[in-house]
Structure 1
Amino acid sequence: MTELPDRTDLFPAGGHRNLAASDDRGLAAWTRVWAELGVRHAPRETFEELIRRYCEPHRAYHNRQHLAECLHVRQLVNAACQAPAEVDLALWFHDAIYDPLRTDNELRSAQWLDDVARDNGLDEETRRRLYDLVMVTRHDGAPATADEAVLVDTDLAILGASFERFEEYDRQIRLEYQYVPLPVYRQKRREVLEGFLARERLYTTAPYFEAFERQARANLVRAIDRLD
């Protein structure tokens, strides 16, 4: 089993600041992903637009903190990928479009990524895989490939964060759905959390399972109890 940092390091406080538009590390990570895909000049305007999107005021959880945490966890949890750069690029876009009042966020995000990928010369097969990677974050079916499994596990890693970070995440989700009356929200949220808890395993890949499964189940039980 790979030795991992504790969950405080996996979900660092203020991690969202690492992806500020002016932060060289964020741009360097963006540029590196495109270079690994064979694109010499990463689309800077798209990077800046993504950061603006992740900073939209209605986002309490699906924001640049979540993006930063996903990219950070992907670096630290060494789950095997067939095309690591494709997984990382899909992570940049997986919540690019987010409106809690809509049900087509993943579709619109996947379409945006496909447009950007096409405009930057990626081939049709690569674009199809990227599209599917974003769409799998709907979490309405099992991952079809190893890379999809890694991306889904990364997106769900927050469930296995420390109690403190998980509780912050839980509050952030409520803020995004503050327009929903509390009794309705509690019922729907319970259904979502119980759906996760009912799974045979939350994490498909062995490294994510070892790192997060036990803590995630404890977090879910605790959150469901609070909804009673």
Structure 2
Amino acid sequence: MEDLVERFRVAARTAGATAADGDLDAAGAYLLTRWSEPQRQYHTVAHLTDVLNVIDLHASLSRHPERVRLAAWMHDAVYDPRALGDANERDSAEFAEGLLTTLGVPEANAAEVARLVGLTAGHATEADDPDGELLCDADLAVLAGDDEQYAAYTAAIRREYAHVPDDAFKDGRAQVLKALLELPSIYRLAPLREQWEARARANLEKELNG
């Protein structure tokens, strides 16, 4: 956990945060408590770490990797499986802007992080948005996992939505899968698309038709 807190502090400082290191560490630790809430089964510290690792590995593909890293920290900072629509992403974006501003991150950078967080609601980006593309691709990297990884992912998602009856969950999940498959490309950045697209589509098709 200390390593993750340090990663948050470095990203915040690089984005212009003026708060003391202790305050940045406290904010990182607080975010980890959010990512460890009991209602989370997939959207956990493990998911956050996976997203951050993808971003670090492919940081050269973005213009402002520190903003993308902060958006990764914030993109599910508010997470309620019972929330409707894009409420979680909207609330997370608002939370991100407020917290980062409090930590002394310049308003423009805080607003940009909030914008990036909002993109994870539908994983749709505009042209010439490499920061948004990297965040969305990192968030969806799990879809290209091997059989064991993908099975663990779908099982965790089902546990998160344990309050939803089987038939309703199956119908809702099918809508999500179809929406992803209808995208021209699940992954937007060419190196990640070449690496992951075929595997992700095979996983989604198998789940949808299973």
Counterpart in the other structure of 1:177: 161
Equivalent residue for 2:73, pick from 92, 114, 132: 92
Matches within 5 A, 1:184-199: 184-199=168-183
* Cα distance in 1 for residues equivalent to 2:67 and 2:59: 15
In the alignment, is the contact (CA less than 8 A) between 1:70 and 1:154 conserved in 2? yes
The TM-score normalised by the length of structure 2 is 0.91
Q: Aligned residue for 1:3?
A: none
Q: Which residue of 1 aligns with 2:4?
A: 26
Corresponding residue of 1:74: 55
* Residue of structure 2 equivalent to 1:44: 25
Q: Cα deviations across residues 83-141 of structure 1 (Å, max 9, x unaligned)?
A: 11000011001000100111311111111111112112222221221110000000164
| Structure 2 CA distance for partners of 1:67 and 1:113, relative to 1, 3 Å | same
Q: 149-158 or 35-44, which moves further after superposition?
A: 35-44
Offset, 1:30: 1.4
TM-score for the superposition, normalised by structure 1: 0.84
The answer (yes or no) to whether the contact 2:17–2:100 under 8 Å persists in 1 is no
Aligned AA for 2:157? I
**Distance in 1 of aligned mates of 2:58 and 2:105:** 27
Counterpart-to-counterpart distance in 2, 1:87 and 1:63: 18
Would you say the 8 A contact 1:79–1:150 is kept in 2?
no
The one-letter code sitting in structure 1 at the alignment partner of 2:6 is A
Q: Which runs of 5+ in 2 are unaligned?
A: none
CA–CA separation in structure 1 for the residues paired with 2:111 and 2:10: 21
**Number of residue pairs aligned between Structure 1 and Structure 2:** 204
Residue 134 (structure 2) pairs with residue 150 (structure 1): yes
Which stretches in structure 1 are left out of the alignment for 5+ residues? Answer: 1-22
Aligned CA-pair RMSD: 1.6
Question: What residue identity is the alignment partner of 1:215?
Answer: R
Report deviation, 1:79: 5.1
2-side partners of 1:143 and 1:65: how far apart? 28
